[in-house]
Protein backbone atom coordinates (compact mmCIF):
# COMPACT_ATOMS: atom_id res chain seq x y z
CA UNK A 1 0.00 0.00 0.00
CA UNK A 2 1.24 3.49 -0.90
CA UNK A 3 0.78 6.10 1.84
CA UNK A 4 1.66 9.78 1.70
CA UNK A 5 2.26 11.11 5.23
CA UNK A 6 1.89 14.90 5.54
CA UNK A 7 3.47 16.58 8.58
CA UNK A 8 3.75 20.26 9.62
CA UNK A 9 6.92 22.16 8.87
CA UNK A 10 6.47 24.75 11.62
CA UNK A 11 6.92 22.40 14.61
CA UNK A 12 10.68 22.08 14.80
CA UNK A 13 11.19 20.71 18.31
CA UNK A 14 10.88 17.09 19.38
CA UNK A 15 7.18 17.23 20.20
CA UNK A 16 5.18 14.14 21.02
CA UNK A 17 3.36 14.54 17.71
CA UNK A 18 6.59 14.64 15.73
CA UNK A 19 7.89 11.56 17.54
CA UNK A 20 4.62 9.71 16.97
CA UNK A 21 4.66 10.57 13.26
CA UNK A 22 8.23 9.39 12.81
CA UNK A 23 7.76 6.10 14.66
CA UNK A 24 4.45 5.38 12.94
CA UNK A 25 6.01 5.98 9.52
CA UNK A 26 8.94 3.73 10.38
CA UNK A 27 6.74 0.84 11.51
CA UNK A 28 4.22 1.19 8.68
CA UNK A 29 7.20 0.75 6.39
CA UNK A 30 8.32 -2.31 8.39
CA UNK A 31 4.86 -3.81 7.80
CA UNK A 32 5.27 -3.43 4.04
CA UNK A 33 3.69 -0.05 3.30
CA UNK A 34 5.46 2.34 0.94
CA UNK A 35 5.44 5.55 2.99
CA UNK A 36 6.39 8.95 1.58
CA UNK A 37 6.87 11.50 4.37
CA UNK A 38 6.18 15.04 3.13
CA UNK A 39 6.79 18.17 5.22
CA UNK A 40 4.23 20.88 4.48
CA UNK A 41 5.46 24.37 5.30
CA UNK A 42 3.00 26.97 6.56
CA UNK A 43 1.72 28.89 9.54
CA UNK A 44 -0.38 26.01 10.84
CA UNK A 45 -2.90 25.09 12.20
CA UNK A 46 -4.80 27.32 9.74
CA UNK A 47 -2.16 29.03 7.64
CA UNK A 48 -2.57 31.46 4.78
CA UNK A 49 -4.32 30.84 1.49
CA UNK A 50 -0.92 30.04 -0.01
CA UNK A 51 -0.21 27.59 2.81
CA UNK A 52 -3.51 25.80 2.31
CA UNK A 53 -2.96 25.68 -1.46
CA UNK A 54 0.41 24.04 -0.76
CA UNK A 55 -1.38 21.51 1.44
CA UNK A 56 -3.99 20.87 -1.27
CA UNK A 57 -1.23 20.23 -3.81
CA UNK A 58 0.27 17.63 -1.46
CA UNK A 59 -3.04 15.74 -1.34
CA UNK A 60 -2.24 13.71 -4.43
CA UNK A 61 -5.38 12.41 -6.12
CA UNK A 62 -6.03 8.69 -5.88
CA UNK A 63 -3.61 7.98 -3.04
CA UNK A 64 -4.04 7.26 0.66
CA UNK A 65 -2.93 10.19 2.80
CA UNK A 66 -2.32 10.44 6.53
CA UNK A 67 -2.26 14.15 7.37
CA UNK A 68 -1.20 15.48 10.76
CA UNK A 69 -4.12 17.35 12.32
CA UNK A 70 -2.04 20.50 12.73
CA UNK A 71 -2.05 20.75 8.93
CA UNK A 72 -5.38 19.19 8.00
CA UNK A 73 -7.82 20.14 10.76
CA UNK A 74 -7.80 23.81 9.81
CA UNK A 75 -8.24 23.15 6.08
CA UNK A 76 -11.68 21.53 5.62
CA UNK A 77 -12.20 22.73 2.04
CA UNK A 78 -8.90 21.24 0.93
CA UNK A 79 -9.67 17.92 2.64
CA UNK A 80 -13.14 17.79 1.08
CA UNK A 81 -11.77 18.64 -2.35
CA UNK A 82 -9.18 15.86 -2.18
CA UNK A 83 -11.68 13.24 -1.02
CA UNK A 84 -14.08 14.22 -3.83
CA UNK A 85 -11.37 13.38 -6.39
CA UNK A 86 -10.59 9.97 -4.92
CA UNK A 87 -7.94 10.60 -2.28
CA UNK A 88 -8.50 8.79 1.01
CA UNK A 89 -7.56 11.34 3.67
CA UNK A 90 -6.99 10.22 7.25
CA UNK A 91 -6.48 13.02 9.76
CA UNK A 92 -4.09 12.13 12.56
CA UNK A 93 -5.38 14.25 15.43
CA UNK A 94 -2.75 14.54 18.15
CA UNK A 95 -4.79 17.25 19.88
CA UNK A 96 -7.99 19.17 19.24
CA UNK A 97 -7.73 22.66 17.75
CA UNK A 98 -9.09 24.73 20.63
CA UNK A 99 -9.27 27.96 18.62
CA UNK A 100 -10.82 26.56 15.44
CA UNK A 101 -13.53 24.03 16.38
CA UNK A 102 -15.77 24.80 13.38
CA UNK A 103 -12.99 24.27 10.86
CA UNK A 104 -11.95 21.09 12.63
CA UNK A 105 -15.49 19.69 12.69
CA UNK A 106 -15.85 20.25 8.94
CA UNK A 107 -12.45 18.73 8.21
CA UNK A 108 -13.29 15.61 10.23
CA UNK A 109 -16.66 15.31 8.52
CA UNK A 110 -15.00 15.48 5.09
CA UNK A 111 -12.14 13.08 5.88
CA UNK A 112 -12.11 9.35 5.24
CA UNK A 113 -11.38 8.82 8.92
CA UNK A 114 -9.64 10.17 11.99
CA UNK A 115 -6.78 8.59 13.90
CA UNK A 116 -6.39 9.42 17.61
CA UNK A 117 -3.71 8.44 20.13
CA UNK A 118 -6.13 7.61 22.97
CA UNK A 119 -9.69 6.78 23.96
CA UNK A 120 -9.65 10.06 25.91
CA UNK A 121 -8.99 12.06 22.74
CA UNK A 122 -11.45 10.04 20.67
CA UNK A 123 -14.20 10.54 23.24
CA UNK A 124 -13.66 14.29 23.32
CA UNK A 125 -13.74 14.56 19.53
CA UNK A 126 -16.90 12.45 19.33
CA UNK A 127 -18.58 14.59 21.98
CA UNK A 128 -17.46 17.91 20.50
CA UNK A 129 -17.90 17.22 16.79
CA UNK A 130 -20.02 14.08 16.56
CA UNK A 131 -17.11 12.40 14.80
CA UNK A 132 -17.73 8.67 14.46
CA UNK A 133 -15.12 7.18 12.15
CA UNK A 134 -12.30 7.31 14.69
CA UNK A 135 -9.49 4.78 15.03
CA UNK A 136 -7.59 4.75 18.32
CA UNK A 137 -3.92 3.90 17.80
CA UNK A 138 -2.14 4.32 21.11
CA UNK A 139 1.55 5.23 20.95
CA UNK A 140 4.00 2.39 21.37
CA UNK A 141 7.23 2.32 23.33
CA UNK A 142 10.77 1.21 22.61
CA UNK A 143 12.61 -1.32 24.74
CA UNK A 144 15.02 0.59 26.96
CA UNK A 145 17.10 0.04 30.07
CA UNK A 146 15.40 0.45 33.43
CA UNK A 147 16.35 3.54 35.42
CA UNK A 148 18.79 3.22 38.29
CA UNK A 149 17.65 6.30 40.20
CA UNK A 150 19.56 8.79 42.32
CA UNK A 151 20.26 9.94 45.85
CA UNK A 152 18.74 12.38 46.60
CA UNK A 153 15.66 11.55 44.49
CA UNK A 154 15.77 13.04 41.01
CA UNK A 155 12.62 14.38 39.33
CA UNK A 156 12.33 14.88 35.57
CA UNK A 157 9.88 16.77 33.37
CA UNK A 158 10.39 15.84 29.71
CA UNK A 159 8.42 18.41 27.70
CA UNK A 160 8.99 21.61 25.77
CA UNK A 161 8.72 24.67 28.01
CA UNK A 162 5.20 25.75 27.12
CA UNK A 163 2.33 27.25 29.15
CA UNK A 164 0.22 24.12 28.64
CA UNK A 165 2.95 21.95 30.18
CA UNK A 166 2.87 24.18 33.31
CA UNK A 167 6.51 23.85 34.39
CA UNK A 168 6.16 27.14 36.32
CA UNK A 169 3.57 25.46 38.54
CA UNK A 170 6.04 22.69 39.34
CA UNK A 171 8.85 25.14 40.15
CA UNK A 172 6.57 26.97 42.58
CA UNK A 173 5.52 23.66 44.17
CA UNK A 174 9.13 22.55 44.61
CA UNK A 175 9.91 25.89 46.26
CA UNK A 176 7.65 24.77 49.11
CA UNK A 177 9.76 21.63 49.62
CA UNK A 178 13.18 23.15 50.21
CA UNK A 179 13.69 21.26 53.46
CA UNK A 180 13.45 17.91 51.68
CA UNK A 181 16.29 16.40 49.61
CA UNK A 182 15.66 16.32 45.84
CA UNK A 183 16.96 17.52 42.48
CA UNK A 184 14.99 18.17 39.31
CA UNK A 185 15.58 18.58 35.57
CA UNK A 186 13.28 20.37 33.14
CA UNK A 187 14.14 18.67 29.87
CA UNK A 188 12.75 20.44 26.81
CA UNK A 189 13.34 23.18 24.32
CA UNK A 190 13.14 26.82 25.41
CA UNK A 191 12.63 27.97 21.80
CA UNK A 192 9.00 26.91 21.29
CA UNK A 193 7.80 29.79 23.53
CA UNK A 194 10.80 31.89 24.63
CA UNK A 195 8.66 34.24 26.75
CA UNK A 196 7.24 31.38 28.81
CA UNK A 197 10.64 29.71 29.08
CA UNK A 198 11.99 32.99 30.47
CA UNK A 199 9.22 32.99 33.09
CA UNK A 200 10.15 29.46 34.16
CA UNK A 201 13.82 30.36 34.39
CA UNK A 202 12.95 33.51 36.35
CA UNK A 203 10.87 31.45 38.80
CA UNK A 204 13.82 29.13 39.41
CA UNK A 205 16.06 32.12 40.12
CA UNK A 206 13.43 33.88 42.23
CA UNK A 207 13.15 30.90 44.55
CA UNK A 208 16.91 30.40 44.69
CA UNK A 209 16.63 26.89 43.21
CA UNK A 210 19.19 27.21 40.41
CA UNK A 211 21.44 24.64 42.11
CA UNK A 212 18.61 22.13 42.46
CA UNK A 213 16.56 22.62 39.28
CA UNK A 214 18.36 22.34 35.94
CA UNK A 215 16.93 23.55 32.63
CA UNK A 216 18.72 21.27 30.21
CA UNK A 217 17.16 22.32 26.91
CA UNK A 218 16.00 19.62 24.50
CA UNK A 219 17.94 16.37 24.85
CA UNK A 220 18.10 13.24 22.72
CA UNK A 221 20.08 10.04 22.46
CA UNK A 222 22.55 9.18 25.20
CA UNK A 223 22.21 12.48 27.04
CA UNK A 224 18.46 11.96 27.40
CA UNK A 225 18.96 8.34 28.43
CA UNK A 226 21.35 9.49 31.15
CA UNK A 227 18.60 11.67 32.58
CA UNK A 228 16.14 8.78 32.45
CA UNK A 229 18.65 6.49 34.15
CA UNK A 230 19.04 8.97 37.01
CA UNK A 231 15.29 9.57 37.38
CA UNK A 232 13.16 8.48 40.32
CA UNK A 233 9.96 10.28 39.33
CA UNK A 234 8.54 11.79 36.14
CA UNK A 235 6.00 14.60 36.19
CA UNK A 236 3.50 15.62 33.50
CA UNK A 237 0.97 18.13 34.81
CA UNK A 238 -0.12 19.54 31.43
CA UNK A 239 -3.41 21.44 31.49
CA UNK A 240 -4.56 19.37 28.52
CA UNK A 241 -3.07 16.24 27.01
CA UNK A 242 -4.47 13.89 24.38
CA UNK A 243 -2.33 11.04 25.70
CA UNK A 244 1.10 12.05 26.94
CA UNK A 245 3.68 9.82 25.28
CA UNK A 246 6.23 10.75 27.92
CA UNK A 247 4.12 8.85 30.47
CA UNK A 248 4.56 5.51 28.75
CA UNK A 249 8.16 6.46 27.98
CA UNK A 250 8.63 6.92 31.73
CA UNK A 251 7.06 3.55 32.48
CA UNK A 252 9.25 1.92 29.83
CA UNK A 253 12.19 3.10 31.94
CA UNK A 254 10.54 1.84 35.13
CA UNK A 255 10.02 5.41 36.35
CA UNK A 256 6.70 6.26 38.08
CA UNK A 257 4.72 9.33 37.00
CA UNK A 258 2.51 12.05 38.45
CA UNK A 259 -0.13 13.23 35.95
CA UNK A 260 -2.93 15.79 36.08
CA UNK A 261 -6.51 14.63 36.57
CA UNK A 262 -8.83 15.10 33.59
CA UNK A 263 -6.20 14.68 30.87
CA UNK A 264 -5.32 11.84 28.51
CA UNK A 265 -2.18 11.29 30.59
CA UNK A 266 -4.39 9.45 33.10
CA UNK A 267 -5.15 6.87 30.40
CA UNK A 268 -1.45 6.61 29.59
CA UNK A 269 -0.61 5.95 33.25
CA UNK A 270 -3.23 3.23 33.56
CA UNK A 271 -4.18 1.56 36.81
CA UNK A 272 -0.94 -0.16 37.73
CA UNK A 273 -0.23 2.04 40.77
CA UNK A 274 2.91 3.33 39.08
CA UNK A 275 2.41 6.91 40.22
CA UNK A 276 -0.45 9.23 41.05
CA UNK A 277 -3.21 11.27 39.46
CA UNK A 278 -2.95 14.79 40.86
CA UNK A 279 -6.17 16.68 41.55
CA UNK A 280 -5.66 20.37 40.67
CA UNK A 281 -7.96 21.30 43.58
CA UNK A 282 -5.14 20.18 45.87
CA UNK A 283 -1.66 21.70 46.00
CA UNK A 284 0.86 19.87 43.83
CA UNK A 285 3.37 20.30 46.65
CA UNK A 286 1.23 18.02 48.83
CA UNK A 287 1.48 15.13 46.38
CA UNK A 288 5.23 15.67 45.96
CA UNK A 289 5.75 15.93 49.73
CA UNK A 290 3.90 12.66 50.26
CA UNK A 291 6.18 10.88 47.80
CA UNK A 292 9.41 12.51 48.96
CA UNK A 293 8.66 11.84 52.64
CA UNK A 294 7.70 8.17 52.35
CA UNK A 295 10.47 5.73 51.26
CA UNK A 296 8.00 2.83 51.21
CA UNK A 297 5.73 4.72 48.84
CA UNK A 298 8.64 5.53 46.55
CA UNK A 299 9.58 1.85 46.56
CA UNK A 300 6.06 0.66 45.74
CA UNK A 301 5.62 3.17 42.90
CA UNK A 302 8.98 2.13 41.45
CA UNK A 303 8.05 -1.57 41.67
CA UNK A 304 4.72 -0.93 39.93
CA UNK A 305 6.42 1.08 37.18
CA UNK A 306 8.91 -1.71 36.57
CA UNK A 307 6.09 -4.24 36.40
CA UNK A 308 4.25 -2.05 33.90
CA UNK A 309 7.25 -2.13 31.53
CA UNK A 310 6.36 -5.64 30.37
CA UNK A 311 2.76 -4.72 29.53
CA UNK A 312 3.40 -1.76 27.23
CA UNK A 313 2.70 -2.25 23.50
CA UNK A 314 5.39 -1.63 20.92
CA UNK A 315 5.13 0.66 17.90
CA UNK A 316 4.45 -2.33 15.68
CA UNK A 317 1.05 -2.59 17.40
CA UNK A 318 0.32 1.09 16.70
CA UNK A 319 1.26 0.71 13.04
CA UNK A 320 -0.76 -2.50 12.62
CA UNK A 321 -3.86 -0.78 14.01
CA UNK A 322 -3.51 2.11 11.56
CA UNK A 323 -2.68 -0.10 8.57
CA UNK A 324 -5.67 -2.37 9.23
CA UNK A 325 -8.02 0.63 9.32
CA UNK A 326 -6.80 2.31 6.17
CA UNK A 327 -6.61 -0.99 4.29
CA UNK A 328 -10.25 -1.69 5.18
CA UNK A 329 -11.25 1.77 3.92
CA UNK A 330 -9.28 1.26 0.72
CA UNK A 331 -10.86 -2.16 0.17
DSSP string, 232-294: SEEEE--S--SS-HHHHHHHHTT--EEEETTSTHHHHHTTSSSEEEE-TTS-HHHHHHHHHH-
Q: Provide the sign of the torsion angle of the four alpha carbons 321, 322, 326, 327, taken in this order.
A: negative
pTM for the predicted model, two decimal places: 0.92
pLDDT digits over 61-79, tens only?
778 999 999 999 999 999 9
164 shares a domain with 118:
no
Burial code (b: 16+ CB inside 10 Å, e: under 16) for 149-176 equals beeebbbbbbbbbbeebbbbbbbbbbbe
Would 146 be classed as within a structural domain?
Answer: no
176 in any annotated domain: yes
Residue 13 has pLDDT above 80, yes or no: no
**Do 8 and 107 share a domain, yes or no?**
yes
Does the residue 147 lie in any domain? no
pLDDT, averaged across the chain? 94
pLDDT in tens, 155-170: 999 999 999 999 999 9
Co-location of 260 and 275 in the same domain = yes
Over residues 266-319, the pLDDT tens digits come to 999 997 799 999 999 999 999 999 999 999 999 999 999 999 998 999 999 999
Distance CA 28, CA 65 (A): 13
Query: How many distinct structural domains can be found in the chain?
Result: 2
64 and 106 in a common domain: yes
Q: Identify whether residues 307 and 161 lie together within a single domain.
A: yes
201-234 pLDDT, tens digit each: 999 999 999 999 999 999 999 999 999 999 999 9
Across 169-184, average pLDDT: 98
Please check whether residues 101 and 113 belong to one and the same domain: yes
Spell out a b/e string for 127-143, using b for 16 or more CB atoms within 10 Å of the CB, else e. eebebeebbbbbbbbee
Residues 68 and 53 in one domain: yes
Among 124, 107, 113, 127, CA closest to 44: 107
Do 115 and 203 reside in the same domain of the chain? no
* Whether residue 304 is found in the same domain as residue 318: no
Question: How far is it, in rounded angstroms, from Cα 17 to Cα 243?
Answer: 10
- Asked if the structure places residue 145 within a domain, the reply is no
Question: Is 148 part of any domain?
Answer: no
**Residue range of the domain that includes 34:** 2-140+314-330
**Whether pLDDT at 60 is above 90:** no
Query: Do 124 and 193 share a domain, yes or no?
Result: no
- Kindly state the DSSP code that residue 141 receives in the 8-state scheme: B
* CATH number of domain containing 131: 3.40.50.2000
Report yes or no on 123 lying in a domain: yes
Give pLDDT tens digits for 101-148. Answer: 999 999 999 999 999 999 999 999 999 998 788 999 999 999 999 999
E strand spans, 53-210: 64-68, 88-92, 113-116, 134-136, 154-158, 183-187
Do 223 and 245 sit in the same domain of this protein?
A: yes
**301 and 318 part of one domain:** no
Domain annotation covers residue 57: yes
Q: Is residue 90 in a domain?
A: yes
Amino acid sequence: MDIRFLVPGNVRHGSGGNKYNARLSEHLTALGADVEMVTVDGDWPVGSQTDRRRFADALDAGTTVIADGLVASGAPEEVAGAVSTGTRVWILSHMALADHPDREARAFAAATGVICPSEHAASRLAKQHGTRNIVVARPGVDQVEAAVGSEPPHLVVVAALLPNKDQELLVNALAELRELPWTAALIGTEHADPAYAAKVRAAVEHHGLHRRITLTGELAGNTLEQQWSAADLSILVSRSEAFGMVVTESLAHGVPVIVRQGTGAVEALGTAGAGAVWDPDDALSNTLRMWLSDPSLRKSWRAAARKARDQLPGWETTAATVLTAIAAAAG
